Chain A
Amino acid sequence: MSEGARTGVTRAEYCVVACAEAWRGAGEILAAPMGLVPTAGARLAKLTFSPGLLLTDGEAMLMGDVPALGAASRVSEGWLPYRRHLALVTGGSRHVMMGASQLDRHGNQNISCIGDWKRPDRQLLGVRGAPVNTLNNPTSYWIPRHSPRVLVDRVDMVCGVGYDRAAAAGPSATRFHRIPRVVTDLAVLDFETPDRTMRVRSLHPGVTPAELRAATGFPLDVPGDVPRTREPTHRELRLIREVVDPAGLRAREVPR
């Protein structure tokens, strides 16, 4: 029986903690999470080990409080309309956790379209701010359904820039480029390898190496002694369940 099964910790709760860890020691920067689980993670980080974080209300205000997911913020501590947000990106005082329709082993990310760009099979959002994000501030990724369709050998359109493409583009591209981690519903991954390709940092409790390999669209080495994603503390678990997400919205993104 896994540790999680004994303690009743859900997969979504491991994911919240793993996302929160992305902002450990970050200081006074903007945590910019996209998706429910990263949003819960950023709020948990602020309530625990990263109290200096700045959080947005998803519109133009910086929140001076830490409301529950889905609840309104009552205190504003600053103004961050889109153009100031873009200045903050290029100033570097931000760590964003973006989504990805496709992500490859070098960390190249696609949210623009699937298939040939000239006439896509599926048009998605467009590149949005992924090119500027990845060249200017730390950019992590959140993948709620780890599958070979998302973790692909090669993305159809490079929006977020991976390590290989940044290196090829030269010093201006690599100067502030960093992809600290990828959190999925199965594992935490990073690029802390000599060739800057994806590595398993930890497996969530209950996930087998074979399961992770089968869900990944490129060969992924999973060492036998790979660590497990850490357990939430009692206080963290209470904060997730009673303060950050009492309505249980996290289960919408990670149901099991």
Chain B
Amino acid sequence: MTADEAVGRLESGMTVGIGGWGSRRKPMALVRALLRSDLTDLTVVSYGGPDVGLLAAAGRIARLVTAFVTLDSVPLEPHFRAARQSGRLELTELDEAMLMWGLTAAAHRLPFLPVRAGLGSDVMTVNPHLRTVTSPYADGEELLAVPALTLDAALVHLNRADARGNAQYLGPDPYFDDLFCEAAREAYVSCEQVVDSAAFAPAGGPQTLLIARHCVTGVIEAPGGAHFTSCAPDYNRDEAFQTAYAKAAADPVAWGEFAGRFLSGDEDDYRAAVAAFTGEGA
């Protein structure tokens, strides 16, 4: 299916998990399709990068569940900052480990999982709904009970996938993409290349087959679909483009021009505009 078809199956108000980490292997083609749709009022769960920035700038996020938002080589995400500083974004701020255990609880159909994190910090203060749980064993420890982060849909981007939804990552880090898919009722996997299943083994060992088809709803072939974030080893982060993004995001007029140039058309238009931008810098 196409990215637009995948997004066409989502609804406003859904809880959507977005894979990747910071400005690394984000499903940006799917995020750009979200921006082209009229979906709104989303709860987004993400180890945040420009996915969060773009959706926040477009006013699509009702609530963000995250531990951070960063562009990695550019530490602070300008759209996220602007949205927070203007009070436009409802935030559920969790610790990195809490987010992982919340997704894990959802994947295992558990209501919560205990974690030694959050206690004593203001994560508890800004999330007054959080509860603790006392160990039923002799230690009697009181730990934080992270509620399951069950997702209506997960969006992830990997290097390779077959048409049935088995997906392979070839970079150094799986991030939490399999967990996002397992925590979701529907998962959409975009990939650099759709391949025959026979191509998986020669490309990498069995541990590179990160996502299994039983938890995948749709596969989208999207070459360059993580741009401008990294998708190692297929490509690194496009630092020149990211710098231009961050610079434009800091000013409404410049952002209007940037969005008009890169985000007003479809994915083919995006690629053509990026190619022209890259040519200018060469």
User: A127 and B84 in contact (CB under 8 A), knowing A86-B96, A172-B142?
Assistant: no
Partner-A contacts on B (CB < 8 A): 21, 48, 66-70, 75-76, 80-81, 84-87, 93-98, 100, 115-123, 125-126, 141-143, 172-176, 179
- Do A81 and B68 have beta carbons less than 8 Å apart? no
- Do B81 and A123 have beta carbons less than 8 Å apart? yes
Residues of chain A within 8 A of B86, CB atoms compared: 119
Residues of chain A within 8 A of B143, CB atoms compared: 172
- Which single member of A132, A136, A171, A176 contacts B98 (CB below 8 Å)? A132
- Do A129 and B97 have beta carbons less than 8 Å apart? yes
Residue of A nearest to B94 (CB): A127
Q: Which 4 A-B pairs have CB atoms at the shortest separation, nearest pair first?
A: A169-B120, A126-B68, A132-B117, A60-B172
A200 nearest CB across to chain B (Å) = 25
User: How far, in whole Å, are A147 and B121 apart by their CA atoms in the complex?
Assistant: 23
Residues of chain B within 8 A of A129, CB atoms compared: 67, 95-97
User: How far, in whole Å, are A81 and B173 apart by their CA atoms in the complex?
Assistant: 5
A21 nearest CB across to chain B (Å) = 27
User: How far, in whole Å, are A82 and B66 apart by their CA atoms in the complex?
Assistant: 15
User: How far, in whole Å, are A86 and B115 apart by their CA atoms in the complex?
Assistant: 12
User: How far, in whole Å, are A97 and B262 apart by their CA atoms in the complex?
Assistant: 39
- Do B85 and A121 have beta carbons less than 8 Å apart? yes
8 contacts between A and B (CB under 8 A): A59-B173, A60-B173, A61-B172, A82-B175, A126-B69, A127-B67, A132-B96, A161-B119
How many residue pairs between the two chains, A and B, have CB atoms under 8 Å in the bound complex?
A: 139
User: How far, in whole Å, are A169 and B118 apart by their CA atoms in the complex?
Assistant: 10
Residues of chain B within 8 A of A171, CB atoms compared: 141-142
Which residues 149-168 in A have Cβ within 8 Å of B in the complex?
157-161, 165-166, 168
Q: Select the stretch in A110-118, A207-215, A235-243 that faces chain B.
A: A110-118
B77 nearest CB across to chain A (Å) = 9
Asked if A173 is at the interface of the complex by the 8 Å CB criterion, the answer is yes
User: Knowing that A127-B121, A128-B67, A132-B116 are A-B contacts, what are 19 other residue pairs whose CB atoms are under 8 Å apart, sorted by A's residue number?
Assistant: A82-B21, A119-B86, A121-B85, A122-B81, A123-B81, A125-B68, A125-B76, A126-B69, A127-B68, A128-B95, A129-B67, A129-B95, A131-B121, A132-B115, A132-B118, A136-B116, A160-B121, A171-B141, A172-B141
Partner-B contacts on A (CB < 8 A): 59-61, 79, 81-83, 86, 89-90, 112-113, 117-132, 134-136, 157-161, 165-166, 168-173, 175-176
User: A128 and B96 in contact (CB under 8 A), knowing A121-B85, A135-B116?
Assistant: yes
Residues of chain A within 8 A of B125, CB atoms compared: 158
B155 nearest CB across to chain A (Å) = 18
User: How far, in whole Å, are A175 and B21 apart by their CA atoms in the complex?
Assistant: 30
- Do B97 and A132 have beta carbons less than 8 Å apart? yes
- Do B93 and A127 have beta carbons less than 8 Å apart? yes
- Do A120 and B119 have beta carbons less than 8 Å apart? no
User: How far, in whole Å, are A90 and B114 apart by their CA atoms in the complex?
Assistant: 12
- Do A135 and B120 have beta carbons less than 8 Å apart? yes
- Do B68 and A128 have beta carbons less than 8 Å apart? yes
Residue of B nearest to A164 (CB): B120
Residues of chain A within 8 A of B126, CB atoms compared: 117, 157
User: How far, in whole Å, are A169 and B253 apart by their CA atoms in the complex?
Assistant: 47
User: How far, in whole Å, are A136 and B118 apart by their CA atoms in the complex?
Assistant: 11
Residue of A nearest to B90 (CB): A118
A206 nearest CB across to chain B (Å) = 30
User: How far, in whole Å, are A168 and B84 apart by their CA atoms in the complex?
Assistant: 30
Residue of A nearest to B68 (CB): A126
Residues of chain B within 8 A of A120, CB atoms compared: 84-85
- Do A172 and B116 have beta carbons less than 8 Å apart? yes
- Do B119 and A117 have beta carbons less than 8 Å apart? no
- Do B122 and A157 have beta carbons less than 8 Å apart? yes
User: A83 and B120 in contact (CB under 8 A), knowing A61-B172, A122-B85, A128-B67?
Assistant: no
- Do B76 and A124 have beta carbons less than 8 Å apart? yes
User: How far, in whole Å, are A123 and B93 apart by their CA atoms in the complex?
Assistant: 12
User: How far, in whole Å, are A170 and B141 apart by their CA atoms in the complex?
Assistant: 9
- Do B117 and A131 have beta carbons less than 8 Å apart? yes
Give the interface centre of A122, A131, A161 by most chain B CB atoms within 10 Å. A131
Residue of A nearest to B232 (CB): A59
- Which single member of A81, A112, A126, A170 contacts B119 (CB below 8 Å)? A170
User: A126 and B85 in contact (CB under 8 A), knowing A81-B173, A132-B117, A171-B141?
Assistant: no
